[in-house]
Amino acid sequence: MIGYVTVGSNDFESATRFYDQLLDLLDAKRLMELDGFILWGKDFDSPALAIARPFDKQPATVGNGVMVALNVDSKDMVKKIYAKALVLGGSDEGAPGDRGDNFYAAYFRDLDGNKLNAFCLG
């Protein structure tokens, strides 16, 4: 149902480097590049993630309660994504761990403060 999720950035070049390296762990590649917009994903038939400079030219802000969740296939990949995000300058919002009902997740913020998590089921 979800085609893609977009997060805003105030430092587009740094955000681009962050997501190029982070999403490479998930075998995602740049699917589309426009002025002030980059979309990463595996293909156009799967959900994707984008960064954008706000269209209204105002500063990008973080939405309260907004989070992008990256579905991965193992606890090991949750740990790798989380660790990579921190190495790239992201900040901790909850270390990898069981969250109940077969839900394993780690939470972090990107360089602009957008909240993400990596999770797996089972």
Identify whether 62 is part of a domain.
Answer: no
Identify whether 59 is part of a domain.
Answer: no
Identify whether 114 is part of a domain.
Answer: yes
Which CATH number goes with the domain that contains 83? Answer: 3.10.180.10
pLDDT tens, position by position, 51-99: 999 999 999 999 888 999 999 999 999 999 999 999 999 999 999 999 9
pLDDT tens, position by position, 7-40: 999 999 999 999 999 999 999 999 999 999 999 9
For residues 74 and 83, what is the distance between their CA atoms, to the nearest angstrom?
Answer: 14
Identify whether 113 is part of a domain.
Answer: yes
Total tally of structural domains belonging to the chain: 1
Give the domain range for residue 75.
Answer: 4-54+68-121
Identify residue 51 by its one-letter amino acid code.
Answer: I
